[in-house]
Amino acid sequence: MWKKLSTCSLIDSPKLTDNQTDHGKLERNSAAGGKNVYLKDVQDWEKRFYEKRGWKDLPPYIRVGFLMEEIGEVSRAVRASEIGRDHPDEEKMTKKEVRENLAEELGDVLSNVAILADLYGMTLEEVVQVHRKKLMKRYHETIN
């Protein structure tokens, strides 16, 4: 139910009243096959993947360090998308490769957020709901 706003993002808020929930449902763009993805499924998959790799039980303060690293990589990918990179030791990427790299790095951020939430016993859906409530209270806004 999230709508594509630009070539790189799925960030528009679904139409919900203050007390409704979308049960973590995200509608993927057609390039992703038009299937639905649920936040719970995303978090569960990340948790299983991290458990299999032995990464799940790292302390939260280490996980935050990884999150910061990934945010830096998102920053680098956004820079490449917006103004390019002129480094002689790097191969020039096509627009498609730049976009894919940004999606990969945003996925790494999402992955770390999902694992941090899980470490504190929260679901991504809960995080989204609490975040929306905070914004609506702070800015006295409701989005329908």
Name the token pair of 31: 């390039």
Percent of the chain with pLDDT over 90: 62
Q: What phi and psi values does residue 135 have, to the nearest 5 degrees?
A: -65, -40
Q: What is the pLDDT of residues 42-64, one digit of tens each?
A: 999 999 999 999 998 899 999 99
Write out the E strands in the chain.
25-27, 36-38
Q: Quick one: residue 51, left, alpha or beta (phi over 0 = left, psi -120 to 50 = alpha)?
A: alpha
Give tens-digit pLDDT for 86-123. Answer: 778 888 889 999 999 999 999 999 999 999 999 999 99
Grouping H, G, I as helix, E, B as strand and the rest as coil, residue 24 is: coil
Q: Which two three-digit tokens encode residue 72?
A: 């830096």
Following CA atoms 7, 104, 107, 132 in sequence, which dihedral angle do they give, to the nearest 10 degrees? -30
DSSP type of residue 59? -
- Asked whether residue 76 carries a pLDDT value surpassing 90, the answer given is yes
pLDDT band, residue 34 (cuts 50/70/90): low
8 A C-beta contact, residue 7 and residue 99: yes
Domain 59-139 in this protein, CATH class: mainly alpha
- The per-residue pLDDT for 111 is 97
